[in-house]
Amino acid sequence: MSDLSHQQGDEHPSFIYGDARRLVGLILLLIVGWFLIRAAAPVLLLFAIVFLLAMVFNPVVVMMERHRIRRGLATGIIVIGVIVLLGLIVLVAGRTLLDQIQELIKRLPGIAAAIQRQIGALAAQHPLLQNALPQAEQVVNTLGSEFGGLAAFLIRSTYNIVGVLFAAFFGFLLFIFVLSNPRPLVAGYLALVPDSQRDCARRALTRMMRQMTAWARGVAINGVITGISTGVLLWLIGVQPAMLFGTLTFLGALVPTVGPVIMALPALFVALSLGVTKFLLALACVLFVQQVESTLLVPFVLGREMRLHPAVILFSTLTMGSIFGIAGAMLSVPTAAFVRILVDEFYLRPRQLNYAALDRDASALVEGADASPKPP
For the chain, the average pLDDT equals 75
168 and 221 in one domain? no
Which pLDDT score, from 0 to 100, does residue 18 have?
59
211 and 172 in one domain? no
Average pLDDT over residues 186-207: 87
CA distance linking residue 332 with residue 283, whole number of Å = 27
Task: Confirm whether 16 is domain-assigned.
Answer: no
Which pLDDT score, from 0 to 100, does residue 305 have?
61
Distances in whole angstroms, Cα of residue 169 to Cα of each of 50, 63, 72, 172, 270: 12, 27, 19, 5, 36
221 and 147 in one domain? no
349 and 202 in one domain? yes
Q: Which residues contact 210 (CB under 8 A, 6 or more apart)?
A: none
Domain boundary pick from 117, 147, 181? 181
Average pLDDT over residues 232-236: 88
- Tell whether pTM > 0.75: no
C-alpha torsion 155→161→167→168, nearest 10: 110
Which pLDDT score, from 0 to 100, does residue 48 have?
85
Task: Confirm whether 119 is domain-assigned.
Answer: yes
172 and 205 in one domain? no
Which pLDDT score, from 0 to 100, does residue 245 have?
81
Task: Confirm whether 176 is domain-assigned.
Answer: yes
211 and 351 in one domain? yes
pLDDT tens for 52-90 read: 888 888 888 889 988 888 888 899 898 898 888 877 777
Closest to 306 measured CA to CA, from 330, 339, 328, 345: 339
Task: Confirm whether 17 is domain-assigned.
Answer: no
Res. 98: pLDDT tops 80: no
Distances in whole angstroms, Cα of residue 94 to Cα of each of 232, 244, 247, 253: 19, 10, 11, 19
Res. 335: pLDDT tops 80: yes
Domain boundary pick from 141, 157, 181? 181
58 and 122 in one domain? yes
Which pLDDT score, from 0 to 100, does residue 246 have?
83
Task: Confirm whether 27 is domain-assigned.
Answer: no
Provide the phi-psi class of 238: left if phi over 0, else alpha when psi is between -120 and 50, else beta.
left
Task: Confirm whether 145 is domain-assigned.
Answer: yes
CA distance linking residue 252 with residue 246, whole number of Å = 10
346 and 209 in one domain? yes
Domain boundary pick from 181, 211, 234? 181
pLDDT tens for 199-212 read: 888 888 888 888 88
**Higher local confidence (pLDDT), 256 or 335:** 335
213 and 71 in one domain? no
89 and 66 in one domain? yes
**2 confidence band (pLDDT: 50, 70, 90):** very low
Provide the phi-psi class of 372: left if phi over 0, else alpha when psi is between -120 and 50, else beta.
beta
Which pLDDT score, from 0 to 100, does residue 7 have?
47
**315 confidence band (pLDDT: 50, 70, 90):** confident
**Higher local confidence (pLDDT), 102 or 238:** 238
Task: Confirm whether 34 is domain-assigned.
Answer: no
Number of domains in the chain: 2
CA distance linking residue 129 with residue 120, whole number of Å = 11
Res. 162: pLDDT tops 70: no
314 and 213 in one domain? yes
Q: Degrees (nearest 5) of the Cα angle 285, 319, 173?
A: 90
Task: Confirm whether 30 is domain-assigned.
Answer: no
- CA gyration radius for the chain? 27
> According to DSSP H, which parts of the chain are helical?
2-39, 41-66, 71-89, 95-125, 136-159, 161-180, 183-192, 198-237, 242-252, 259-263, 265-274, 276-292, 304-306, 310-330, 332-343, 349-351, 355-366
Which pLDDT score, from 0 to 100, does residue 209 have?
86
199 and 67 in one domain? no
Res. 157: pLDDT tops 50: no
Average pLDDT over residues 302-324: 76
The residue segments making up the domain with residue 142 are 40-181
